[in-house]
Amino acid sequence: MTIRFISTLLIFLFGGSAIFTEEPQKAKPNVLFIITEDTHWNVFGCYGNPICKTPNIDKLAAGGIRFEHAYCQASACNATRTSFIHGARPKTTRIWNNDQSTQERLPEKFAHTNMPQLFKDAGYTTIDVGKFYHRVEFAPDQVAVFDRIESYAKPQGWNGPPPILNFTNVRTDLTKRTNSNYGDSGLNFEDEGDTRRSQITVTLLEEYVKDQSPDKKPFFLVSSRAKPHTPYLSPTKYATMYDPATIPDPPAPVSSLQDFPYITRSTGINPDIFRQAPATPDEAKNAIAAYYGCVTFIDDTIGSVLDTLEKTGLDKNTIVVLIGDHGVHLGDHNMWSKYSMLEGTQRAPFILRVPGAKENGKVCNEIVEFVDILPTLIDLCGLQKPKHLEGVSLKPLLENVEKPWKNAAFLVDQDLGEVVRTKKYSYMEFGGRTQSRSTWVADGYKGALFDLEKDPYETINLIDNPAYSEVQKELVDLLHQGWKAALPPSTVP
């Protein structure tokens, strides 16, 4: 193959910007999109966790780019997924909590611009294994776009192929699998839902390689994991892997909190887990140990998929995206689950491996947002770009992870509270508080301001501190100006 042909191919694929140093195998790259649920930003070993074992995800990060400061756009599953699937922010999608129907509320201009539709329009085979949108009945038309749907409910009228694998020995114990439980699931590894989603994904990849038809299309394949979402249950091997006695006390105990807006929740009950009474110190460590077990379990299931990519050679032309759909509190501030505007909920893991990308193997410390994922894939895969995207392509960071980038991230809470977060400060404004979960915000709180350099765990609210009045004014202005004001000039759409 001549150098001239290779150069022409690179220009065709990437608009003249040679982010690839290796020759791709085919005109369009495949995409494997891995989603984990309720994932704390630093639970993986590659993010600095000294206890939790995640060798497969760590290997993925070592071969790609790990984004250290990645932020989702909403504190609830439904809202964050709708946001990154459509490349728009919750106030635009009109989805900001878990009770809102995408089908009913999404503006018409988004009807045919969701992630799988854009890939399908570009000639991709679209496959979903596991949860993509929060609930199928909330987005039936959007989910119906997938050519194949596995391990996920099917929209009415969808006529895709039958399951590629059929499983027996399905075991469920509804009395044990409530959200508040943690520990041993009572299931064998092979009977777990996430294991089966991995087996389905592996089989699909193997079948794809066997297909030698001349009209074979590239694939966009979503492979989701239900864990480590509550309940924190995993097979015995994983549930007993971590000794609770070795788990450090969670940061930001109640005694350290000053003028804290979520004090009602910090001293009371939580969603999903510890719903009847606050966790005792021992219960907190036991729950974290169980959560780590779930994380190591899904790391093993993800590892089999990544190994298959490598064994089949698909890794040479497959972009891999791995994210947690949003963050989660693990006892910090004596809080659990999501639904806040604190770091625990906002920040989540994000790893991107693009074959041959110049900066693979490095860590990007710039602020990025999940709303940027769709624009990035559009850029890398040559998809048609909708006009209404509210994120920006991260492609320049694949060429230089130190390139100056956004100076802030924006998140909406489920009652339309809003937060803007820079590397130095976090500023929150609470919304109309019309949702029941808003009782977790103490009455009378109009806002909160945290100095992240001095107080990285957000324990001391400085909203009334006169020494921070100028800082507060700047952040108020930035929040109200919106996301475009946080972009470097070269990236403003």
SS3 content of the chain, % helix, strand, coil (to 5): 35, 15, 45
Average pLDDT over residues 249-257: 98
Separation in Å, CA 292 to CA 86, 122, 311, 405, 432: 31, 39, 28, 32, 36
Residue 438 lies in a domain: no
303 residue type, one letter: G
Q: Band of the pLDDT at 444, cuts 50, 70, 90?
A: low
pLDDT of residue 441: 75
Above pLDDT 90, what percent of the chain?
A: 85
Q: Band of the pLDDT at 171, cuts 50, 70, 90?
A: low
Domain extent at residue 36:
27-407
Helix (H) or strand (E) holding 476: helix 469-481
pLDDT of residue 432: 56
pTM for the full predicted model: 0.92
Look up the CATH number of the domain holding residue 184: 3.40.720.10
Decide: helix, strand or coil at residue 363.
strand
Q: Band of the pLDDT at 19, cuts 50, 70, 90?
A: very low
Least confident of 50-59, 72-81, 259-268, 437-446: 437-446
Residue 17 lies in a domain: no
Measure the CA–CA gap between 363 and 132, rounded to whole angstroms: 27
56: pLDDT strictly greater than 50 = yes
Higher-confidence residue: 431 or 129?
Answer: 129
Structurally, the chain folds into a number of domains equal to: 1
Measure the CA–CA gap between 452 and 469, rounded to whole angstroms: 16
Residue 376 lies in a domain: yes
Tokens, residue 484: 């475009």
Average pLDDT over residues 474-492: 90
Q: Band of the pLDDT at 176, cuts 50, 70, 90?
A: low
Residue 102 lies in a domain: yes
Average pLDDT over residues 376-401: 96
- Antiparallel, parallel or unpaired: β 219-224 and 30-36: parallel
293: pLDDT strictly greater than 80 = yes
pLDDT of residue 399: 97
Q: Band of the pLDDT at 272, cuts 50, 70, 90?
A: very high
Residue 18 lies in a domain: no
Residue 434 lies in a domain: no
Separation in Å, CA 370 to CA 71, 323, 398: 6, 9, 16
pLDDT of residue 30: 98
Residue 419 lies in a domain: no
Average pLDDT over residues 282-305: 98
Residue 69 lies in a domain: yes
Strand residues in 170-325 grouped as ranges (E): 182-184, 219-224, 232-234, 318-324
Average pLDDT over residues 120-134: 97
Average pLDDT over residues 157-162: 96
Q: How many CA atoms lie within 13 A of 223 on its CB side?
A: 28
198 residue type, one letter: S
Q: Is the CB of residue 267 less than 8 Å from the CB of residue 328? A: no
Q: How many CA atoms lie within 13 A of 315 on its CB side?
A: 18
Q: At what angle do helices 77-86 and 373-381 cross, to 10 degrees?
A: 30
Strand residues in 396-457 grouped as ranges (E): 409-412, 418-421, 425-429, 447-451
